[in-house]
Amino acid sequence: IEFAQQGLEKTVRAIRDNFPGTTEAQALDMITVGFQNGLNSSGDFLDSITEYSTQFGNGGASASQFFSVLETGLGTGVLGTDKAGDLFKEFVVRIQDGSTLTRESLTMLGLDADKVLTGLANRTLKPIDAFNMVQGALAKTDDQAVLMQAGVGLLGTQFEDLGASAATGVTTMSSTFQNVGGAV
C-alpha cells in the first residue's frame, strides 16, 4: 500500500508541476476520472502520466488536453496510454527538427511549413497547437499515400505502429477531463 501511495503522490506532483495552475486536488480528480473511464486497462496509466506530462506541459498543453490524448488514444484502439503519450512526444521531436521531411510533410497536408516552423521557433505557436493543426489536416486527407507519408513524416514510427485510423483519432478536444471537480 505504501508503494502504491508513493506512486500516486509522484503522479500527482507530476501533474501539478507540469501543468501550472493545476492543484493537487484537481490532479487527483483527473486521475480518478481516468481510472473510472478505464484508462488503466493496460496497467500503464500512472506511469504514462509521470513519463509524458513533462512533454505535454513543455509543449503548451493543458492537463485536460493531456488526459484527452490518453483517453482518445485508448479509445481508438491504441494499446495502452503509453502509446498515446508517445505519439505526441514523437510529434514534438519531429516538428521541431525543421528537417526537409518535416517541411515536405506539412506542405503535403496543405499547411504553410514556414509559418508553422517559424511560429514554433519564435514561440508564437505552441507544439500542442501545431499537433492539433496536423491532426486536423491528417483527418481531412483522403489520399492514402499522402496520409501515410505525411503521418509517418510528422508522427514517426508511432503513426506506422498505430495505423492511420488510430493515430488520427487521437485528439485534445475531449471534454471528459474539463470539469472533474469532486471526482475523488
Q: Region 116-124: what's the mean pLDDT?
A: 96
Q: Name the grid cell of 122.
A: 519564435
Cα end-to-end distance, the chain, whole Å: 18
45-92 per-position pLDDT tens digit: 999 999 999 999 999 999 999 999 999 888 777 677 888 899 999 999
Helix (H, G, I), strand (E, B) or coil at 29: helix
8 A C-beta contact, residue 102 and residue 91: no
Percentage of the chain exceeding pLDDT 90: 68
1-17 per-position pLDDT tens digit: 444 555 788 999 999 99
Instruction: Give CB contacts under 8 A, 24+ apart, made by 20-28.
Output: 20/57, 22/63, 25/184, 26/63, 26/180, 26/181, 27/63, 28/183, 28/184
**Residues constituting the chain:** 184
What stretch of H or E contains 163?
none
Q: What is the CA angle 69-11-92, rounded to 5?
A: 40
Q: Region 137-161: what's the mean pLDDT?
A: 94
Instruction: State the Rg of the chain over Cα.
Output: 16
Q: Name the grid cell of 156.
A: 514517426
Q: What is the DSSP letter of 75?
A: H
Burial status of residue 50 (CB atoms within 10 A of its CB: 0-12, 13-18, 19 or more): middle
Q: Up-side HSE of residue 18: CA atoms within 13 Å toward CB?
A: 26
Q: pTM to 2 decimals?
A: 0.88
CA–CA separation, 65 and 172 (whole Å) = 5
Residue 171 gets the label, from left (phi > 0), alpha (psi -120 to 50) or beta, of beta
CA–CA separation, 175 and 14 (whole Å) = 21
Residue type, 78: V
